[in-house]
Structure 1
Amino acid sequence: MQPLDRFSGHADLYAQYRIDYPAELYDFILSVTSNRQTAWDCATGNGQVASALADIFDRVDATDISETQLILAVKKATIHYQTSQAEQTPFASQTFDLITVAQALHWFDVNAFHQEVRRVAKPGATIAEWGYGLVQAGQDLDGVMLDFYRNRIGPYWDPQRMHIDNRYATLPFPFADAQHATFTACRTWTVERFLNYLRTWSAVRQYIYENEEDPIIGLGEELQPLWGDGEREVQFPIFLRVGRVL
């Protein structure tokens, strides 16, 4: 199965405008993680998760199929980046205390990835998988955003997007002591910052590629009068599942 790379072409935007994750999420993961020596952040993108883990673990290995993303990723002494597929890695067996994958599992061959997780995890290691759904910008904007998400760019999403919408409910998770939790990432943004975040969406990039026009321009004209000149809070609903690798 050839891995899908939907982000190399706009890695600079991704590095600038994608969100990081709240401390509460990491606290939850660490509460079920026994050891803090080695972690693997799979599909690390620009290293948001790897950077957080590097402050906790002695060594963090972070992989992605996009060399461009890794070039722009956060650099810390304890993070070791390399290009690799999720389903087949260069790591030795029983290497990691924690394995994470954020907003990327739906791109994988999930069964093959989980097989690799079982190989490279230490006995009793933690596996944590999470993602976040459609951003919420307030009642006056959410209807506009839902229409844009479903109708304007809806046909340009890859089929895998459905797994984000249903919070990975139909993707297997064959690990012990499975737990689920939800969190909210809150950000205070100008409309310009918000629109640039939307430009990182894979469906928006595909729309631009196929139509040679940016759908965010028209959306911005619709949102600006509602948003105003200042900042407003936007919320990202995060879903998480964790388990132990026996």
Structure 2
Amino acid sequence: MTGNAEITTAKNWFDKGGSAYALFRPEYPAGLSTFLAQTVGGRGCAVDVGCGNGQLTRQLADQFKRVIGIDPSEDQIANAHRHANVAYLCAPAEQLPLPNGSASLITAAQAAHWFDRPRFYEEARRVADDGAVIALISYDVMRLAPSDLQDRFNSFYHDEIGPYWPPERRLVDSGYSDIEFPFEEISYPEMTIDRVWELGELLGYLSTWSAVRRVNEAGRGDILENFFRDISAIWGSPTSKLPISWPINMRLGKL
């Protein structure tokens, strides 16, 4: 990981390419894929839609005989994590290139807010086998310690770059509770993503945000520069490791 690299200016961290997603997005806990596998009767085929670089896809491969990761971005697929029983396909969520009745589990992790969901649901029903489950997964805004670090981050997230978030982001912030979900719902246990990061890892993660890209496109690099200055002062040594967590939210249902 590049957390030990010298941290010089905000531009170094807020001007990343597609590979930053694979480097800096936090991995899901292993318990998530284990739990998802337990919700379905068989463990034949899992389909991860909007898979990005395959963070959840790869973990599902430890639980299912076959896993298919699908994403419309060729760049994301090119940077996806490889695994012996994972196949990646480039396609939209609304046109899954899969046969009828072929999937035991259909997941969409941090992606369903971008879909045309009625069309995606039609496709999910089509490719689902008997007893299949659909899971829309998201993770909440990150939590940091100490409190002054959290306070500065909250101001940055809600007030400074808040206007640059696309409208779909509000669905993530609500834990997908406002998403239409026409399925018999299944309860799930509380889970969090927990990491201990250096400052460079945090900044690399922020560089993957759509709002950060839009700030740069709008010529408002000053917003990022000010946050970088303040967060660096609070963090202290850039190689200091501090705890960060993201609560996991789900809409889980029977197809």
TM-score (norm 2): 0.88
Per-residue CA deviation, residues 69-107 of structure 1 (Å, 9 max, x unaligned), is 101101112111111110111111100011111001101
2-structure distance, mates of 1:142, 1:22:
23
Query: Which residue is equivalent to 2:153?
Result: 145
Query: Which residue is equivalent to 1:210?
Result: 218
Q: Tell me the CA shift for residue 216 of structure 1.
A: 3.4
Amino acid at match of 1:244: K
Q: Secondary structure at the match of 1:123?
A: strand
2-structure distance, mates of 1:118, 1:214:
47
Q: Tell me the CA shift for residue 108 of structure 1.
A: 0.7
Report matched runs for 1:10-21 at 5 Å.
Answer: 10-21=17-28
**Structure 1 portions without partners, runs of 5+:** 1-8
Per-residue CA deviation, residues 127-172 of structure 1 (Å, 9 max, x unaligned), is 1111012111122211111111111111111000110111111111
Contact conserved, 1:181 with 1:239, CA < 8 A, in 2? no
Query: Which residue is equivalent to 1:127?
Result: 134
> Which is bigger in relative contact order (C-alpha 8 A, separation at least 6)?
2
Contact conserved, 1:180 with 1:239, CA < 8 A, in 2? no
Q: Tell me the CA shift for residue 214 of structure 1.
A: 6.7
Q: Does 1:239 align with 2:249?
A: yes
Per-residue CA deviation, residues 1-50 of structure 1 (Å, 9 max, x unaligned), is xxxxxxxx832110100011012222321221211111100001001011
Query: Which residue is equivalent to 2:81?
Result: 74
Contact conserved, 2:45 with 2:102, CA < 8 A, in 1? yes
1-structure distance, mates of 2:201, 2:248:
20
**Structure 2 portions without partners, runs of 5+:** 1-15
Query: Which residue is equivalent to 1:46?
Result: 53
2-structure distance, mates of 1:148, 1:87:
34
Q: Secondary structure at the match of 2:64?
A: coil
Contact conserved, 1:195 with 1:216, CA < 8 A, in 2? no
Aligned partner (choices 207, 229, 245) of residue 221 of structure 1: 229
Q: Secondary structure at the match of 1:56?
A: coil
Query: Which residue is equivalent to 2:196?
Result: 188
Contact conserved, 2:161 with 2:215, CA < 8 A, in 1? yes
Q: Tell me the CA shift for residue 176 of structure 1.
A: 2.2
Relative to structure 2, which stretch is displaced further, 69-78 or 177-186? Answer: 177-186
Q: How many residues align?
A: 237
Q: Secondary structure at the match of 1:179?
A: coil
Query: Which residue is equivalent to 1:4?
Result: none
Q: Tell me the CA shift for residue 225 of structure 1.
A: 2.2
Q: Tell me the CA shift for residue 240 of structure 1.
A: 1.6
Amino acid at match of 1:90: P
Amino acid at match of 2:129: K
Q: Tell me the CA shift for residue 212 of structure 1.
A: 6.2
Q: Secondary structure at the match of 2:143?
A: coil
User: Runs of 4+ in structure 1 displaced over 4 angstroms?
Assistant: none
2-structure distance, mates of 1:244, 1:188:
35
Amino acid at match of 1:131: S
Contact conserved, 1:100 with 1:129, CA < 8 A, in 2? yes
Q: Tell me the CA shift for residue 181 of structure 1.
A: 4.2
Report matched runs for 1:142-181 at 5 Å.
Answer: 142-181=150-189
